Structure 1
Amino acid sequence: MATVADVLTPNPVTVEATTTVRAAAELMREHDVGDLVVVEQGRLVGIVTDRDLVVRVLAVGGEAQDPVGQVGTGSPVVVSPDDDVVTAADLMATHAVRRLPVVRDGQVVGIVSLGDLAVRHNAGPVLGAISQAPPSS
Structure 2
Amino acid sequence: MPVKHLAVEPVVAEPDTPATRIAERLRDEGVGSVIVEEMGRPVGVVTDRDLAMAIADQRDVSGLEARDVMTEDPVTIEGDAEAVELPKKMAETHVRRVPVVDDGKLTGVATLDDVVATAGEELEDVAEVIEAQSPEYSP
Class of the TM-score when normalised by the shorter of the 2 chains: 0.7 to 0.9
1:13 Cα deviation after fit: 1.1
Q: 1:98-117 to 2 correspondence within 5 Å? A: 98-117=96-115
1:123 Cα deviation after fit: 8.4
What is aligned with 2:55?
58
1:13 corresponds to 2:8 = no
- TM-score w.r.t. structure 1 length? 0.82
Structure 1 spans left out of the alignment, 5+ residues: 126-137
Distance 1:64 1:124 in 2: 45
What is aligned with 1:119?
117
Letter in 1 for 2:55: L
Asked if the contact 2:78–2:103 (Cα under 8 Å) also holds between the matched residues in 1, the reply is no
Asked if the contact 1:117–1:123 (Cα under 8 Å) also holds between the matched residues in 2, the reply is no
Distance 2:48 2:13 in 1: 14
Rg: which structure is higher?
Answer: 2
Change (3 A) 1:124 1:92: farther
What is aligned with 2:134?
none
Q: Percent identity?
A: 34
Secondary structure at the residue paired with 1:58? Answer: helix
Distance 1:60 1:72 in 2: 14
RMSD: 1.8
Letter in 2 for 1:3: P
1:71 Cα deviation after fit: 1.0
